Amino acid sequence: MTARPSLNPIDLILKKRDGGNLTRTEIAGFVDGVTSGDIPDYQAAAFLMASYLNGMNGEEMVGLTHCMLHSGSVLDLSDIPGRKVDKHSTGGVGDKMSIILAPIVASCGVPVPMISGRGLGHTGGTLDKLESIPGFSTQMSIASYRQQLAEIGVVMIGQTDDIAPADKKLYALRDVTATVEFIPFIAASILSKKLAEGIDALVLDVKFGSGAFMQSETQARKLAQTLTDLGEQFGKRTVALLTDMNQPLGFAIGNWPEIAESIDCLHGKGPEDVMEVTLALSAEMIVAGGKASSLEEGLRMAEASISSGRAWAKFEELVARQGGQLESIQDPAVRTKGQAMQDIHAQQSGTISHIDARIVGRAAVSLGAGRVKKEDVVDPRAGIILSVSAGSEVQVGDVIAQLVASTSDRFEQAASLLSTAFEIGSEREIGTSRIKDRYSDGKWLNP
């Protein structure tokens, strides 16, 4: 890294405080200073809040993304044949798509290098889910990451220290200074990590609704558009789907429960809503990877990879390669033996009109399936198995969900929270697609 002329952090804070716009050199000075530790947290925090309150223009956002991306290693996978494609989801409750689509897409000949995060708050994380497979390791050297991608076409790991280190520092500060929900910061944070992976194209699943990070559809649209346009500005083919996260996805919430449901999906027995979104995202990735010339063809290829068993075989290969015990995924019921369980019953008869995804996510966290603080340790087997979905008819006393965990210690609190997630009435809220829109090439499909 070449030495930059040193900038006084106070001047940068002043400029943002007074509504000014920073030059690329000034942004680079800020990012370098945060990464090296030369800018202390209190000044970085003041800068974040001033930017949050007074906004950042497009050029500043591109500059911030560029500097955060280059704060660490940027992988070059160009010696591995094929267009490398990843997917990023803004996170949800029961969102297990990465685990299902990575082997589907890889088995269709598109290399999938995936660097994922852990769950925080009411949403789960892909790393925690994968690590609930006994023995599965999400840590490896960059050399092994490249080798595995070249040899089997798919690799799923956690963020390493040298990928976008500026984001690690800034995200931790944003988290404690109420400056997370700001689109330029979110876009720079997500893309700096994804662009560092060495991908050629990115498919985004931007969620809205009670279980999503962005609850309002309008804000989620803005985020999808910003992320997609920004990805394209960095020369990567980027497409976004806007999906509904008001209700949990599928029936399983929690790490091992979601792996077990993903296994069903890979055997062609997955819940309709999970499969709808997974197959649509897979089709986008197959097209972006240049293996299909239309989304219809990509969809047929994704479906065929499941029905032929190729997606399952690729998943077994991935699990074995990363040290996971094959017996656990070949017979997932064995891993659930001996765990504590408690049924949740319907309080009245009627039709389930709504299941609030955020409450279900919080109940799963209270069981130990997620973290309240970064340092918390998750119980890999803890979670919730829903027996109903919106539109189901129930009689008072019917089982509508089951709590599962390694021990029953936390069942009381989780049960009282979970029972508030279900609305039972006479109205049905069913039959609508989870996929609300698609954004690519500067346009929405259904504006």
> What is the rounded CA–CA span in Å between residue 385 and residue 400?
9
Q: According to the binding rule CB under 6 A, does residue 281 interact with ligand URA?
A: no
What secondary structure, in 3-state letters, does the chain show? Answer: CCCCCCCCHHHHHHHHHCCCCCCHHHHHHHHHHHHHCCCCHHHHHHHHHHHHHHCCCHHHHHHHHHHHHCCCCCCCCCCCCCCCEEEEECCCCCCCHHHHHHHHHHHCCCCEEEEECCCECCECCHHHHHHCCCCCCCCCCHHHHHHHHHHHCEEEEECCCCCCHHHHHHHHHHHHCCCCCCHHHHHHHHHHHHHCCCCCEEEEEEEECCCCCECCHHHHHHHHHHHHHHHHHCCCEEEEEEEECCCCCCCEEEHHHHHHHHHHHHCCCCCHHHHHHHHHHHHHHHHHCCCCCCHHHHHHHHHHHHHCCHHHHHHHHHHHHCCCCHHHHHCCHHHHCCCEEEEEECCCCEEEEEECHHHHHHHHHHHCCCCCCCCCCCCCCCEEEECCCCCCEECCCCEEEEEEECCCCCHHHHHHHHCCCEEEECCCCCCCCCEEEEEECCEECCC
Q: According to the binding rule CB under 6 A, does residue 195 interact with ligand URA?
A: no
- 108 neighbors 235 (Cβ within 8 angstroms): no
- Cβ proximity to ligand URA: between 185 and 411 the closer is 185
Active-site entry in 16, 193, 236, 434: 193
Query: Is 335 noted as a catalytic residue in this protein?
Result: no
Q: According to the binding rule CB under 6 A, does residue 190 interact with ligand URA?
A: yes
Beta strands 85-89 and 435-440: pairing type? unpaired
- Cβ proximity to ligand URA: between 189 and 351 the closer is 189
Interface segment toward ligand URA; rule CB under 6 A; list 28-36, 181-189, 245-253, 334-342: 181-189
Q: According to the binding rule CB under 6 A, does residue 189 interact with ligand URA?
A: yes
Rounded least distance, CB 115 to ligand URA, Å: 11
Rounded least distance, CB 182 to ligand URA, Å: 8
Query: Is 88 noted as a catalytic residue in this protein?
Result: yes
Rounded least distance, CB 181 to ligand URA, Å: 8
Interface segment toward ligand URA; rule CB under 6 A; list 135-143, 149-157, 182-190, 350-358: 182-190
Q: According to the binding rule CB under 6 A, does residue 186 interact with ligand URA?
A: yes
Query: Is 167 noted as a catalytic residue in this protein?
Result: yes
> What is the rounded CA–CA span in Å between residue 201 and residue 285?
8
Active-site entry in 32, 128, 167, 379: 167
Q: According to the binding rule CB under 6 A, does residue 179 interact with ligand URA?
A: no
Rounded least distance, CB 70 to ligand URA, Å: 17
Interface segment toward ligand URA; rule CB under 6 A; list 155-163, 178-186, 247-255, 309-317: 178-186
Active-site entry in 87, 88, 371, 410: 88
Interface segment toward ligand URA; rule CB under 6 A; list 28-36, 185-193, 221-229, 311-319: 185-193
- Cβ proximity to ligand URA: between 64 and 140 the closer is 64
Active-site entry in 174, 237, 371, 381: 174
Q: According to the binding rule CB under 6 A, does residue 114 interact with ligand URA?
A: no
Query: Is 189 noted as a catalytic residue in this protein?
Result: yes
> What is the rounded CA–CA span in Å between residue 397 and residue 345?
5
Rounded least distance, CB 242 to ligand URA, Å: 16
Q: According to the binding rule CB under 6 A, does residue 89 interact with ligand URA?
A: no
Rounded least distance, CB 171 to ligand URA, Å: 6
- Site size toward ligand URA, by CB under 6 A: 7
| C-alpha distances out from residue 431 to 16, 223, 304, 369, 428, Å | 48, 26, 25, 29, 9
Query: Is 87 noted as a catalytic residue in this protein?
Result: no
- Cβ proximity to ligand URA: between 142 and 180 the closer is 180
Rounded least distance, CB 186 to ligand URA, Å: 4
Site string for ligand URA, 155-174 (x = CB under 6 A): ----------------x---
> What is the rounded CA–CA span in Å between residue 69 and residue 47?
19
Rounded least distance, CB 49 to ligand URA, Å: 15
Active-site entry in 189, 262, 328, 392: 189
- Cβ proximity to ligand URA: between 171 and 234 the closer is 171
**Interacting residues with ligand URA (CB under 6 A):** 171, 180, 185-186, 189-190, 213
Catalytic positions = 88, 167, 174, 189, 193
